[in-house]
């Protein structure tokens, strides 16, 4: 396991607390004191300035568009299996598994252990029974050489598998992102989908401010580890998916899922790539 990636862990507490603030199903189970502390510290340190700006999203609005956008694309895909990479303390796996969809949450060992403890301690027994055998957790470093073999087994037999990486690729170096996208494309069957969020540097001054603010928040939450380089523009993102081996790739229209946030300049877009 890469020790450097352990520092990304606190951001999972932050986002889990955001899902709770948004009132999303089962998010209350993963609202930790670490998440609450980070959330309110960031608000006090200057996020309130962004909250007052008419076109810039607050961290909560940015995360809402991202999470609900992925959720809407997942609904459209009608998956028969979901593999979520870097799932952290997200409430999505529990929610979809309770609906009957086999769901595998992948993360580094310390995060998987924290999540399993949280579910055992906080989830009502009826919910634990409902997801038994459908929600599974895998301690895997997605950048490790043996990840491809693991993923091959994980998607075997699925007809409409979807791989998700929410709030994950932005922490990786460009060559690591390319390698991981290549592994996902190679292991998904034809028609399999990959949903992820990616930042591009184009988009004008308001977008640059939004991205700068977002990265400052990430720097704070990761004790200085920070986010990695952005893509230059949409064309570079399209080539990234094509070179990885995906047949098509397009941004997900998140305004459909969050029309109340459509006026905001989001610094990050959700992409759906199809094998």
Ligand X SMILES: C[S@@+](CC[C@H](N)C(=O)[O-])C[C@H]1O[C@@H](n2cnc3c(N)ncnc32)[C@H](O)[C@@H]1O
- Least CB distance from residue 190 to ligand X, whole Å? 26
Residue 166 interacts with ligand X (CB under 6 A): yes or no: yes
- Least CB distance from residue 272 to ligand X, whole Å? 16
Of the candidates 142, 200, 211, 268, which one interacts with ligand X according to CB under 6 A?
Answer: 142
Nearer to ligand X, 16 or 98 (CB): 16
- Least CB distance from residue 247 to ligand X, whole Å? 25
Residue 70 interacts with ligand X (CB under 6 A): yes or no: no
Nearer to ligand X, 65 or 106 (CB): 106
Nearer to ligand X, 51 or 139 (CB): 139
Residue 29 interacts with ligand X (CB under 6 A): yes or no: no
Nearer to ligand X, 104 or 106 (CB): 106
Nearer to ligand X, 168 or 238 (CB): 168
Nearer to ligand X, 177 or 275 (CB): 177
Residue 32 interacts with ligand X (CB under 6 A): yes or no: no
- Restricted to residues 81-120, the positions that interact with ligand X (CB under 6 A) are 86-88, 90, 106-108, 111
C-alpha–C-alpha distance, residues 274 and 242, integer Å? 10
Residue numbers at the binding site for ligand X (CB under 6 A): 2, 5, 8-9, 11-12, 15-16, 86-88, 90, 106-108, 111, 141-143, 166-168
């Amino acid at each position: 396991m890469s020790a450097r990636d352990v520092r990304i862990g606190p951001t999972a507490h932050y986002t889990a607390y955001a899902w709770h603030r948004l009132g999303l199903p089962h998010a209350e189970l993963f609202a930790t004191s670490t998440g609450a502390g980070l959330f309110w510290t960031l608000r006090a340190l200057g996020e309130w300035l962004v909250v007052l700006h008419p076109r810039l999203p607050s961290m909560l609005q940015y995360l809402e568009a991202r999470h609900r956008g992925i959720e809407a694309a997942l609904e459209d895909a009608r998956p028969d299996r979901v593999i979520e990479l870097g799932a952290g303390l997200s409430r999505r796996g529990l929610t979809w598994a309770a609906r009957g969809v086999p769901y595998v949450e992948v993360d580094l060992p310390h995060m998987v252990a924290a999540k399993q403890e949280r579910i055992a301690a906080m989830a009502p027994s009826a919910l634990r029974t409902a997801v038994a055998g459908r929600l599974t957790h895998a301690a895997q470093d997605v950048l490790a050489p043996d990840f491809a073999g693991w993923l091959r087994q994980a998607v075997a037999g699925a007809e409409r598998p979807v791989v998700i990486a929410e709030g994950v690729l932005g922490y990786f170096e460009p060559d690591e992102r390319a390698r991981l996208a290549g592994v996902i494309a190679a292991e998904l069957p034809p028609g399999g989908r990959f949903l992820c969020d990616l930042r591009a540097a184009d988009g004008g001054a308001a977008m640059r401010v939004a991205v700068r603010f977002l990265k400052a928040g990430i720097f704070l939450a990761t004790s200085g580890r920070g986010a990695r380089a952005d893509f230059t523009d949409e064309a570079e993102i399209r080539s990234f998916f094509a070179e990885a081996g995906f047949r098509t790739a397009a941004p997900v229209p998140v305004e459909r899922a969050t029309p109340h946030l459509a006026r905001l300049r989001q610094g990050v877009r959700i992409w759906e790539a199809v094998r």
